[in-house]
Structure 1
Amino acid sequence: MDARYTGEQIAAARRAKGLTQKQLADALGVTDKAVSKWERGLNYPDIVLFQPISELLGLPLLQLFCKDGLSAEQAVAAAAALSAQEKQAVRRDMKWHAVFRLAAALMLSVALVYVSRVLDLHGIYGWSQGCTMGMLPFTGWLAGDAVFTLRQVKKL
């Protein structure tokens, strides 16, 4: 599969029908910028849009996917390979997001402990009070001199 070829097919068929990118985008429920990216070969339309694109532009689906001489079986194999590559990219991105969230949680925990110690050293809050105040968003809510959690009420 070739994104540039697919984009050229979409652009040629759109022009032949006398549609603007905006009109095609409105008919498909996407932005005109998305259509522009398809036509420039920067990315593919979403898989669910190929059938509506085919119907709107009067193109056979195989023509959207295949260069001349490519059989339907080869087109399906190429689409499956592209899908597998995209799934791997998404999994890789998800792993980095999980690592980032863990690192952010650790940094926030360290900052909480540091702020609690600083408050304790300056006599503003005691160590336990500083930790309790910092952990309120995670454990419960403060009312008067008591912290209400999901399990019990604790006096400060």
Structure 2
Amino acid sequence: MDQERWGRRIKAYRKLKGYTQVEFSDAIGVSLSIVGEIERGKRKPTKEFLERTVETLGVPLVELEPPHEK
């Protein structure tokens, strides 16, 4: 499922950049529960969430996109 792969990649980059979930949710202006749901693959990230994420983490969107299955 794509949203699970999005979540895993977002979580990996968040941790790589040294953010806790609380710090990250504060930085991008969304609730902690939304960050948790996205990272667990229970919710699909919105365009706004992704825009704030790439800005905060300083990574291009292509780095967060899950690889396409062949």
Report TM bin, short chain.
0.7 to 0.9
Is 2:58 aligned against 1:58?
yes
Equivalent residue letter for 1:22? V
What is the TM-score with the length of structure 1 in the denominator?
0.40
Which of the pair has more CA radius of gyration?
1
Cα distance, 1:40 vs. partner?
A: 0.4
Instruction: Please name the residue that 1:29 is paired with.
Output: 29
Aligned length: 70
Deviation track 1:25-78 (CA, whole Å, cap 9, x = no partner) reads 1111111111000100111222112112012123221232331578xxxxxxxx
Identity of counterpart residues, as a percentage?
A: 36
Q: Which has the higher contact order (CA 8 A, sep 6+)?
A: 2
Report if the CA contact (8 A) 2:9-2:66 is conserved. Answer: no
Instruction: Please name the residue that 2:4 is paired with.
Output: 4
SS at match of 1:22: helix
Alpha-carbon distance between aligned partners in 1 of 2:15 and 2:64, rounded to the nearest angstrom = 15
Equivalent residue letter for 2:12? A
Alpha-carbon distance between aligned partners in 1 of 2:3 and 2:17, rounded to the nearest angstrom = 21
Is 2:40 aligned against 1:40?
yes
Q: How large is the RMSD of aligned CA atoms in angstroms?
A: 2.0
**Structure 2 residues not aligned, in runs of 5+:** none
**Structure 1 residues not aligned, in runs of 5+:** 71-156
SS at match of 1:9: helix
Alpha-carbon distance between aligned partners in 1 of 2:69 and 2:5, rounded to the nearest angstrom = 13
What is the TM-score with the length of structure 2 in the denominator?
0.83
Equivalent residue letter for 2:36? S
Higher helix share goes to which structure?
A: 1
Report if the CA contact (8 A) 2:14-2:24 is conserved. Answer: yes
Report if the CA contact (8 A) 1:11-1:39 is conserved. Answer: yes
Runs of 4+ in 1 over 4 A off after TM superposition: none
